[in-house]
Amino acid sequence: MSTLVIEGLRASVAGREILTGVDLEVAAGEVHAVMGPNGSGKSTLAHVVAGRGGYDVLGGSVRLDGTELLGMPAWRRAEAGLFLAMQYPTEVPGVSLLDMLTESVCTPEGAAVAERMSEEAARIGFEEKFLERPVNVDLSGGERKRNEALQLGVLGPAFAVIDELDSGLDIDALRFVGARIEDATTHDGLGVLAITHSSRVFDHLRPDTVHVFAGGRIQQSGGPELADELEAEGYERWTGAVPQPDSDAGTTPFTDPFGDPFADLLT
Amino acid sequence: MNPFTTDAARSLPGPGWLAERRAVAAERFAAADPPTAAAEEWRYSAIADFDLAAYQLAGADASFPPDGTWAGVDSAANGAVAAVLDVADGRIVASRGLDELSKQGVQVGPLVDASDGAEVLGSVADEASDYFTVLNDAFAGCPILVDVPAGVTVEGVIAVRHYAGGVGAATFPRLVVRVGSNGSAKVLDMQRSAGSALVVPVVELDVGQAARLGYVNLQQHDHRAWQIAAHTARVERDAALVAASVALGGGYARTRTDTRLVGRGASGDLLSAYFGSGDQILDFRTYQDHAAPDTTSNLLYKGAVGDSARSVYTGLIRVRPNARGTNAFQTNRNLKLSEDAWAESVPNLEIENNDVRCSHASAVGPVDPDQVFYLESRGVPTPVAERLIVSGFFDEVIDGLPVPSVEDAAREALALKLNQMLKAAA
């Protein structure tokens, strides 16, 4: 049974500690939601687990089926079975989706990638014409998120970190994409770490476990009912009571330097 | 002993008028001061290392290009090729398809065979004359003319392939393309060399009223060769020129591009993809000259430098007082692929009319780390991600090449060079 185990994970950006000791264990086939207010460090968790540059890992471990991911380049983590669905997927001009997926070490040699792309596109209502475009170029926010789900389908990872699934997605798209991910958890044993600031997404991607994330770590874990409590009471209980990771910074929420600069305006 | 004498120029093969023209140019050349890096147009160049005395004039016994010289581009361009003319060290060594073209009235061959050759030679380039174009005037062994009469459309590509084979030899390719009014043609100009040649090409593009010309220069010189090229164009009323270069070779390869829009409604699209590795220096000077109303020029130069290679781009848009309604754009983007690589970009505007739309943009920077991370997070290894992104960076230029049949060859040549560099670095 494969598992993703995060233990005591601490990381900083520009000398400021953002992750202050994250402990989390996700088994295959499970969906874990990490919920927290803006600026709590949720996206930093996604980036550090996926291996994006620009963060200093101060301690802890991230193991996928016993393999330590920290210290590996991002593509090795993907090879080990990790997938990151980004909040704001990057445009890569001049690089086709087909070339990117064909060059992935997650794609077996000689795989019929183009056919798989068409199949996955049909499943989530991603228009065929978008398959021809350079990666994410001239795609709307919703189309980009469908594109992330399509790639997840083609690459077939063991675990997916999904950062703010519903950003930019309309209800129809959310339904398709949510159903595709749920299907992967049921049939392929995909484990999911879904990072979200609101429970809106849970209508389409049902969590087995909900974690409250504030102050750079997990404050409480529970069943889906925890999300309802949060929806009713908000995060104040956590943001108010929990000392901030950096006392100099007071209660200023952390803005991930690699996140979308307008994220706060959109939410 | 200096081989670049007036006597040597006069004794090159050709009719009396050409011998006289060469002799005059050789005299001018002998009297001229060589350029120095102190002059603005040679700033950042390698001109301080230039030593003409190190070269011999390529002899009549120069070797034919070895088999395989045109591999890659030959087959790629084949399907759509109307005619091919091979020139090695100033001599025509092979040709095909010329007879078929001449049935349409299209002449491709020695310029001296044209009845008005004396008027045609220099009719465009003389207005952009400099030290090296004068040197070409004096020593061009066999100026080539591609002559498309008024109203004639050539469907296929006319390929002229220049090869410089002499070690330590200097060659002076000269290509004149004249498209008569309402005519249309696509010309592919290939430049290759072996060893430490000096290649000083001059290209003249004469685009008549309402004519269309697509010109692609594919430069793949040996890394020991020097190239100092001048590409000049004159575009008449309502005519459209698309002139592109793919510049990959040369130890020092400089191309000066002068595009003069002289008739109302004339347009010039100027494209370049260049890539330097090792210790190459690639040097581009462009000049968009708007000398008539309602003219449009659109320049897009994209380059990458790796290892300790350097590139220089300096461009000037000039809008003359009478050129109201001008649209002029200039974009130069550079990828710096290593710490030791260096790229300089200097755009300039000189505008003497108020009723214009002009813009320029330039950038030098590394491959976008966000793009690399995105690909890596899908399991694409870092060097492969960089290769895909750099190849993709050039797509905008390659897709716009006015000779579509050369797109694949250009892409392959870029990819091959990039792979070699990434492999050597790994």
Q: Where are the domains of chain A?
A: 3-266
Which of B416, B49, B397 is closest to B228 using CA atoms? B49
pLDDT in tens, B305-332: 999 999 999 999 999 999 999 999 999 9
Which residues in chain A are contacts of B391 at CB distance < 8 A? 94-95
**Dist CA A126 CA A117 (whole Å):** 10
pLDDT in tens, B255-296: 999 999 999 999 999 999 999 999 999 999 999 999 999 999
pLDDT in tens, B395-419: 999 999 999 888 988 999 999 899 8
Which of B326, B197, B311 is closest to B259 using CA atoms? B326
Q: Which two three-digit tokens encode residue A114?
A: 């183009």
Question: pLDDT at position B59, please?
Answer: 72
Cross-chain residue pair A78–B395, CB shorter than 8 Å: no
pLDDT in tens, A87-116: 999 999 999 999 999 999 999 888 899 999
Is residue B290 a contact partner of residue B323, using CB atoms and an 8 Å limit? yes
Please report the residues numbered 377 through 396 in chain B whose beta carbons come closer than 8 angstroms to any beta carbon of chain A. 377-382, 384-385, 388-389, 391-396
Q: Which two three-digit tokens encode residue B110?
A: 């020695």
Is residue B251 situated within a structural domain? yes
Is residue A135 a contact partner of residue A95, using CB atoms and an 8 Å limit? yes
> Strand (E) positions, A29-141?
31-35, 56-64, 67-68, 82-85
- Taking CA atoms, what residue in A is nearest to B388? A95
Helices (H) and strands (E) in chain A, counts: 10, 10
Q: Which two three-digit tokens encode residue A52?
A: 């994006």
Is residue B29 situated within a structural domain? yes
> To 10 degrees, the CA torsion angle through A186, A144, A85, A99?
100
Q: Domain tally for chain B? A: 1
Other C-beta atoms closer than 10 Å to the C-beta of A247 total: 7
Interface contact A90, partner B, CB < 8 A: yes
CA distance B398 to chain A (A): 11
Question: pLDDT at position A135, please?
Answer: 96
Residue A167, classed as helix, strand or coil, is: coil
Burial B322-352 (b: 16+ CB within 10 A, else e): ebbbbbbbbbbbbbbbeeebbbbbbbebebe
Is residue B108 situated within a structural domain? yes
The one-letter amino acid at B348: N
Averaged confidence pLDDT in chain B: 93
Is residue B396 situated within a structural domain? no
Is residue B315 a contact partner of residue B329, using CB atoms and an 8 Å limit? no
**Dist CA B105 CA B152 (whole Å):** 8
Cross-chain residue pair B379–A73, CB shorter than 8 Å: no
**Dist CA B59 CA B91 (whole Å):** 10
Map chain B to HEC letters: CCCCCHHHHHCCCCCHHHHHHHHHHHHHHHHCCCCCCCCHHHCCCCHHHCCHHHCEECCCCCCCCCCCCCCCHHHHHHCCEEEEEEEECCEEEEEECHHHHHCCCCEEEEHHHCCCHHHHCCCCHHHHCCHHHHHHHHHCCCCEEEEECCCCEEEEEEEEEEEECCCCEEECCEEEEEECCCCEEEEEEEEEECCCCEECCEEEEEECCCCEEEEEEEEECCCCCEEEEEEEEEECCCCEEEEEEEECCCCEEEEEEEEEECCCCCEEEEEEEEEECCCCEEEEEEEEEECCCCCEEEEEEEEEECCCCEEEEEEEEEECCCCCCEEEEEEEEEEECCCCCEEEEEEEEEECCCCEEEEEEEEEECCCHHHHHHHHCCCCCHHHHHHHHHHHHHHHHHCCCCCHHHHHHHHHHHHHHHHHHHHHHC
Which residues in chain B are contacts of A89 at CB distance < 8 A? 374
Question: pLDDT at position A171, please?
Answer: 84
pLDDT in tens, A108-167: 888 899 999 999 999 999 999 999 899 999 999 889 999 999 999 999 999 999 999 888
**Dist CA B352 CA A171 (whole Å):** 55
Is residue B356 situated within a structural domain? yes
pLDDT in tens, A165-180: 888 788 888 899 999 9
Nearest to B395 among A78, A79, A94 (CB): A94
Nearest to B370 among A90, A104, A134 (CB): A90
- The gap from C-alpha B122 to its chain's centroid, in whole angstroms, comes to 17
pTM across the whole model: 0.88
Q: Measuring CA to CA, how many Å separate B80 from each of B13, B74, B186, B191?
A: 33, 11, 10, 19
| pLDDT interval class at A250 (50, 70, 90) | very low
Is residue B406 situated within a structural domain? no
pLDDT in tens, A24-34: 999 999 999 99
**Dist CA B53 CA B24 (whole Å):** 21
Cross-chain residue pair A104–B380, CB shorter than 8 Å: yes
Cross-chain residue pair A101–B378, CB shorter than 8 Å: yes
Classified by CATH at the fold level, domain A3-266 comes out as: Rossmann fold (3.40.50)
User: Is the per-residue pLDDT at A242 higher than 90?
Assistant: no
Is residue B303 a contact partner of residue B274, using CB atoms and an 8 Å limit? yes
Predicted ipTM of the assembly: 0.91
Interface contact A75, partner B, CB < 8 A: yes
**Dist CA B264 CA B223 (whole Å):** 42
User: Is the per-residue pLDDT at B75 higher than 60?
Assistant: no
Which of B40, B53, B203, B189 is closest to B133 using CA atoms? B203
Is residue B94 situated within a structural domain? yes
